[in-house]
Amino acid sequence: MKFIFRYLKMIIILSATLLLSCNSPHNPLQQPSIMYAQAGVVLDALPNDEIWEMQAWEKLDQVWLGNTPDSTDFKGKYKLAWDEKYLYVLAEITDDTLMDIHTDPLEKYWDDDCLEVFIDEDASGGNHQYSYNAFAYHIALNGDVADIAPDSSKVLLNDHAIVKRQTTGNTTIWEVAFQLYDSTFTHTSAYKPISLNAGKKLGFMIAYCDNDRSAERENFVGSVAVNGTDKNRGWIDAGIFGKYELIK
């Protein structure tokens, strides 16, 4: 009986792997999708929830700044899931040096080691440099979440995400639950996140800022191939984000 159960589980995982391979953001033939977390997600920075076991990893391998790092210096991969309340991001990052040299969470946070998650709630694309048309969440090693406000100031948006992180050796697991906000979000009043549902479209990509004991990050590696010479456009242009559909 145990053998049959393991066999069926293997078939499910292989089927999901093939589906997600077709749904990869690098595949222009099909819009990628994000699977529903039917059994929920326990935020503990461990990749052992059912929804994570059903999926293949997506690569984080597009160099936006710097040179292609050696795999011992940096490599990354990620998975996505959702329920009515959260967009879940699981990332596994191999990095031989973790650096957080700026004690002020709003000072040059992009030059510290950090996970950066880009979310365009309605997949509308367009400019978001000084607006909340989309968000570029920089997640520090201590869990602070920073972005740029419409007045061009740097702000903490820690209440937008629940961040769990643990490091073993050179491997760090990030597990983050994001509440999604639309372009009318403001800081001046209590603002409720939107509810998620099957069929919803959103823009998404993920990146990592890698600093190996320098004044600035040496590498910036993302999930989406960006055309042209200026590949560091995600903090301005939501049009380069991957486009996803939430499915059940």
Encode pLDDT of 99-126 as tens digits.
898 999 999 999 999 999 999 999 999 9
pLDDT tens-digit map of 156-196: 999 999 999 999 999 999 999 999 999 999 988 789 999 99
| CA gap 32, 182 in Å, rounded | 21
On the question of pLDDT at 219 being above 70, the answer is yes
pLDDT band at 213 (very low <50, low <70, confident <90, very high): confident
Other Cβ atoms closer than 10 A to 134: 29
Mean pLDDT of the chain: 90
Overall domain count for the chain: 1
Q: Range of 101's domain?
A: 2-247
Q: What is the pLDDT of residue 31?
A: 74
- Count of Cβ atoms closer than 10 Å to residue 99 Cβ: 18
Q: Output the pLDDT for position 214.
A: 84
pLDDT at 189: 77
Q: What is the pLDDT of residues 33-52, one digit of tens each?
A: 999 999 999 999 999 999 99
pLDDT at residue 205 is higher than 60: yes
Task: For residues 234 and 159, give the distance between their C-alpha atoms in angstroms, rounded to a whole number.
Answer: 22
pLDDT of 145 over the 60 cut:
yes
Q: What's the pTM?
A: 0.88
- The CATH number of the domain holding residue 40 is 2.60.40.1190
pLDDT in tens, 3-15: 444 444 444 444 4
Q: What is the pLDDT of residues 47-82, one digit of tens each?
A: 999 999 999 999 999 999 998 988 888 999 999 999
Contact 241, 226 (CB under 8 A): no
pLDDT class of 25 with cuts at 50, 70, 90:
low
